[in-house]
Amino acid sequence: MTTAAKLWRQSLLTMTGALALSVMVQAGEARQLFAGKQAMPPNDRLHIQTKGMLTVTTAVPSAEETRTFFGIDLYSKNVQPVWVQVENRSESIVFLTPMGLDSAYFTPRETANRSRVNFTEPHTHKFEEQAMVRMQVPANSIQSGYIFSRVDEGTKSFNIDVIGSDSLQMMTFFIPVPGLKLDHYEVDIRGMYSEQELKHVSLPELADELEDLPCCVRDKKGENKGDPLNLVFIGEIENIYYAFMRAGWDETETIYGSSLIKTMASALMGSRYRYSPVSALYVFDRPQDFAMQRARSSINERNHLRVWLTPLRHNGTPVWIGQISRDIGVHFTWKTITTHKIDPDVDETREFLAEDLAYAQSVHKFGYVGGVGPASYDEPRGNLTGDPYFTDGNRLVIWVADQPTAIDEIENLNLLEEFDSKTSD
Amino acid sequence: MHTDCPNGGPAPKYNVIRVGLLLLSIALLSACASGPYHGAKMDDASFLARAMTQESNNLVVHAAVPTAQESKLLTGLDLHAQGIQPVWLKVENRGQSRARVATWSIDRDYFSPIEVAYMNRKKFSNAAYEDLQKWFYQNGLTRYIPAGESRSGLVFTHLNSGTKGFNLDIFSNKAANSFTFFVPMPGFTADFMQVDFKGLYADKDLRNLSIDELEVVLEQELPCCASDPGGKLQGAPLNVVLVGSGLAVRRSMLRGAWRETAAGDAAGNLVSQGARKQHFQGRQPDAIFTLSRQDGNEKVYLHLWLAPWRVEGEHAWVGQVYYWADSESPLDGSIAEDMIDDLKFKSFFARESVVADLDSAQRYLFQDLWYRGSLHKAGFVTGVGESAMDDPRVTFGGTAYFTQGLRVVVFLSETPRGLDEGELIYMLRESLPPGETSP
């Protein structure tokens, strides 16, 4: 062992303070694991995943639980602690990297600086003592502690990456955090269509069926046509949802009094209320099954997406239809005083989404079908708030990947024979 | 429609509140500004003469970036003042199949052409806005380029100061080509551009080291720390070693959105002034890179010096990495001289300050390089020596710090590598023997 290895091991031993041996029972076999630094979990909503010789347990405290535990309202400082326990039963050292959990994680001292009152009282130790400070998890050991991330309300989605010399284990956790009422929890996705209503289609049939779906969203009365339905997703709800979370999209809150107040405040003050509610648009005589949004720099610069489940199934996989718009500002109308102005170049917004999901490694293959109907720049159509839009008339069809897919592995399907000539103008 | 404002909204018969609100809004937005819009002809833009060209797999890409003034001449709008920096691209597709430009790869939060137009609508009448919108729409870069053809246009990115560095991916079915551009901007010279790297060391002074020899040099020969400009007092620890070409370093920094520092950047920037006092081999850092938190005032600083070694034939860089926080003014290191030797103050600073926490900065850099695909091999070696929180070492500038005493060594990869393609070297190569971890 080199000097460095000795020093490093020594420091690992000293950092643990009182050493303890814990007996872990795994697969019927009693093993002795070296107990490294430990912190108590914040609640009993533990989420456990095991891969090979590695078990990771996580828990996310709510805003209230965080305040109780740390004595400070960290959520209001945009800091959300995540409790992580790693049990490494292998014979080699592994690294737990906080950056996998949040690319802009806070160190314990950054957390301290966000919540300190002055620079005269000791404050840092409250976080440093509970934190998972070091990345190294030695062979046959168990350790736990907090990683400080940015706040996600609703569902906390994160990766735990554990890197070893010859191995990389990636685990994705989705942990509901109490406090936000999200629209898609209210929709019974599985019970939406009966077995008789489902339509199982082959690939050529799929293209035909997709072209026959409604061109556009409608208002509640079903009278006026609005924004074009220019997106199709093929995938299980979990994979679609994971894909959007990985790409940094946020869930939306159902419209309630308090959320409207938050939205108005953020529109006026320019702050970002990431979960602000979206209005209902209608397809199949019902409002969207779920909606997502991705903030850019202010509430007036967001992308909105609404999605409906169709009765179509392709190779047993659900088919969804959706509408996306890019808010490019606020404008004033006589009807509602203010409304978001959308980018009339709806194809630009559609292609942005393709890339956003592709770079989240979530696109398996994609292609285009018709169904929207073209509208030219000089003769645009109008949506429900009177905004014009123009389009090549195509729908982007995305097969959502169920495992990470690099951009050079994405298959481009030619579902539309004339596509080359159409888009090359 | 006839109102005071050309092409303004209709006026009659709405309730007083709405009319009042609307009038107020109109007044606030001074929507009456008018005048025709004339965007310049793209082909006549003088900055196109500075276009840089790269070629790969039947794709030829030309890139040019206008200055603030050139953007204004081209569009008639002060886009830089709005944080928008147009990038002009021309892509020639000499291949057999359609190519797709991934606009996202240049800036994932790019502005769409019509978005930029709409942001500037208030200065124009409705008729003039139509022209404005059309100019932006027509001069935006299209995504698809048919085989054998070429397309050119603007992509509207977020403004960054200094050299405009960006990636560009162009893909087709199951294939992707990645380009990286560093477009020099008139008026900005990065510090490292003024260093004569070839003249720094004579050939006879350069040592060729293997990976194993590097470990010995780092643990036993390289001083723990930089020095003051006089070479007498101890500065901050040399806790980073990077192995790779200058281009590899620049690409790694670009992937992590680190910022270059202007040469002679001293005016008004106390931290850069302090940074330039750190000396190694008798000189200030060859390059300083910084990374700012978007949601806070913390920054990570990385100072690099070219080392007098070649490691397995590659250049090597010795460096320092640390956090800085503007909020810590009472703790920011610029303290009264009589405080420097005050043990109580020193250990308070070491216990509380993000600046004192060198190992967290080192961990951040290590992960940043790994997650951005810049890490080929990495490990940790000793050489800095431990500095304890209770009795911390202090730099010549009066900054107390604590550290476990390790140096991170990273062999950089010029092309992006997956997370699972990194190799651990030195002590991390060895797993601890079973049982050794028990007390």
Cα separation, A27 vs B81, whole angstroms: 63
**B387 band by pLDDT with thresholds 50, 70 and 90:** very high
Q: Which residue of A has its CA nearest to B150?
A: A424
Most confident of A59-63, A169-173, A235-239, B60-64: B60-64
- The answer, yes or no, to whether residue A311 has pLDDT greater than 80, is yes
* Contact state of A334 with B18 under an 8 Å Cβ cutoff: yes
- Taking the model in full, what pTM does it have? 0.80
Cite the DSSP H helix spans in B36-149. Answer: 68-75, 103-106, 113-119, 126-139
Query: Which residues are within 8 A (CB) of A109 and not within 5 positions of it... i.e. 6 or more apart?
Result: A124, A127, A128, B323, B352, B353, B354, B357, B360
pLDDT at position B422: 82
Segment 216-275 of chain A within 8 Å of chain B by CB? none
Taking residues B126-152, what's their average pLDDT?
96
**If you average pLDDT over every residue of chain B, what do you get?**
85
Predicted local distance difference test score (pLDDT) of residue B70: 97
Q: Give yes or no for B326 touching A (CB within 8 A).
A: no
Mean pLDDT lowest for which of A65-79, A275-289, B153-167, B382-396? A275-289
For residue A406, give how far its alpha carbon lies from the nearest alpha carbon of chain B (Å).
Answer: 9
- From chain B, the residues in CB contact with A100 under 8 A are 371
B344 touches chain A (CB under 8 A): no
Q: Mean pLDDT throughout A325-342? A: 69
C-alpha A275/C-alpha A255 separation (Å) is: 10
Helices (H), A252-368: 257-269, 346-359
Question: What are A83's two structure tokens?
Answer: 């409790």
Percent of all residues in chain B with a pLDDT value above 70, rounded to a whole number: 84
| Most confident by average pLDDT, A30-44, A325-339, B420-434 | A30-44
pLDDT at position A275, please?
57
Beta-carbon separation of A4 and B380 below 8 A: yes
Partner B, chain A 385-424, Cβ-Cβ below 8 Å: 406-412, 420, 423-424
What is the amino acid identity at position A248?
A: G
The better pLDDT of the pair B171, A12 is held by: B171
Q: Is the pLDDT reported for residue A24 higher than 90? A: no
The CA-CA-CA angle for residues B384, B390, B393, to 5°, reads 35
* Chain A residue with the nearest C-alpha to that of B350: A124
CA-based nearest distance B199→chain A, Å: 34
Please say whether the beta carbons of B243 and B411 come within 8 A.
yes
Q: Which of A208-212, A230-234, B3-7 has the lowest mean pLDDT?
A: B3-7
H/E segment holding residue A126? helix A125-128
Q: Which of residues 379-438 of B touch A (CB under 8 A)?
A: 380-382, 386, 404-406, 419-420, 422-424, 426-432, 434, 436-438
Q: Is A139 on the interface with B (CB under 8 A)?
A: yes
User: Which has the minimum average pLDDT: A161-165, B12-16, B269-273, B416-420?
Assistant: B12-16
Nearest to B351 among A113, A122, A329 (CB): A122
Whole-number pLDDT of residue A116: 85
d(CA B291, CA A238): 35
Mean pLDDT, residues A231-247 taken together: 87
Residue of B nearest to A141 (CA): B437
Amino acid at A145: G
The average pLDDT across B227-243 equals: 96
For residues B200 and B318, the answer to whether their CB atoms sit within 8 Å is: no
pLDDT-derived band at A243, boundaries 50, 70, 90: confident
> Contact A407/B371, CB-based, under 8 Å?
no
Is residue A167 over pLDDT 80? no
Torsion of CA A334, A340, A346, A352, to 10 degrees: 180
Which one of B22, B382, B420 has the shortest CB-CB distance to A3? B382
Give the DSSP letter of residue B126. H
Q: Is the dihedral of CA A189, A193, A198, A204 positive or negative?
A: negative
A23 vs A309, residue with greater confidence: A309
**Is residue B190 predicted with pLDDT exceeding 80?**
yes
What pLDDT, on a 0 to 100 scale, did the predictor assign at position A242? 77
Look at residue B194 and give its three-state secondary structure: helix
Residues of B in contact with A380 (CB under 8 A): none
Q: Is the pLDDT of residue A276 over 70?
A: no
Terminal CA-CA length for chain A: 66
* d(CA B181, nearest CA chain A) in Å: 19
Q: Cα separation of A241 and A227, whole Å?
A: 22
Contacts of A139 in chain B (CB under 8 A): 431-432, 434, 437
Residue B172: closest CA among chain A residues belongs to which residue? A412
CA distance A243 to A175: 16
Interface contact B427-A8, CB threshold 8 A = yes
Kindly report which listed range (A18-32, A385-399, B22-36, B385-399) carries the lowest average pLDDT score: A18-32
pLDDT band at B52 (very low <50, low <70, confident <90, very high): very high
- What is the pLDDT confidence band of residue B336, given thresholds at 50, 70 and 90? low
At residue B420, the pLDDT reads 74
> In this predicted complex, what is the ipTM?
0.80
Confidence check: pLDDT of A107 > 50:
yes
Chain B residues 55-74 with a CB less than 8 Å from chain A: none
Query: Which pLDDT does position B103 carry in this prediction?
Result: 96
Shortest CA gap A165–chain B (Å): 6
Confidence of residue B343 (pLDDT cuts 50, 70, 90): confident
Cα separations in angstroms, B260 against A261, B111, B188, B287: 42, 24, 10, 8
Residues 76..135 of A with a Cβ closer than 8 Å to B: which? 78, 91-93, 97-100, 103-104, 107-110, 112-114, 119, 122-125, 133, 135
Judged against a pLDDT cut of 60, whether residue B439 lies above it is answered with no
How far is B321 from B327, CA to CA, in rounded Å? 19
Q: Give the pLDDT mean for B68-94.
A: 96
Among A167-171, A192-196, B148-152, the range of highest mean pLDDT:
B148-152
Contact list in A for residue B381 (CB cut-off 8 A) is 4
Copy the structure tokens of residue A334: 């006589």
Is pLDDT of A333 > 80? Answer: no
Structure confidence by residue, pLDDT tens digits, A118-162:
777 889 999 999 999 888 898 899 999 999 998 877 778 788 888
Kindly report, residue by residue over A355-391, the tens digit of the pLDDT: 999 988 889 999 999 999 999 999 999 888 788 999 9
Task: Output the pLDDT for position B361.
Answer: 96
Q: What is the C-alpha to C-alpha distance for residues B366 and B79, in angstroms, rounded to an integer?
A: 36
CA distance A411 to chain B (A): 5
Instruction: Using an 8 Å CB-CB cutoff, list chain B residues near A416.
Output: none
Give the pLDDT band (50/70/90) at residue A4.
very low
* pLDDT for position B1: 29
Which of the listed ranges A43-47, A158-162, A177-181, B16-20 does the model predict with the highest average pLDDT?
A43-47
Instruction: Write down the pLDDT at residue A245.
Output: 78
Which residues in chain B touch residue A133, judged by CB atoms under 8 angstroms apart?
360
Contacts of A19 in chain B (CB under 8 A): 439
Shortest distance, CA B381 to any CA of chain A (angstroms): 6
Which of A110, A133, A408 faces B171 most closely, judged by CB atoms? A408
For the record, the structure tokens of A368 come out as: 């285009």
Q: Is B287 exposed, middle or buried (0-12, 13-18, 19+ CB in 10 A)?
A: buried
Q: By CA distance, what is A367's nearest residue in B?
A: B173
CB A412 within 8 A of CB A367: yes
The answer to whether B119 contacts A329, with C-beta atoms less than 8 Å apart, is yes
Contact between chains at B103 and A351 (C-beta distance less than 8 A): yes
Please report the residues numbered 290 through 319 in chain B whose beta carbons come closer than 8 angstroms to any beta carbon of chain A. Answer: 293-296, 298
- Residue A272 in this model has a pLDDT that exceeds 70: no
CA distance A167 to chain B (A): 7
- The single-letter DSSP state of residue B221 is I
Instruction: State the residue for tokens 């029972």.
Output: A25
How many CB pairs below 8 Å do chains A and B form together?
A: 207
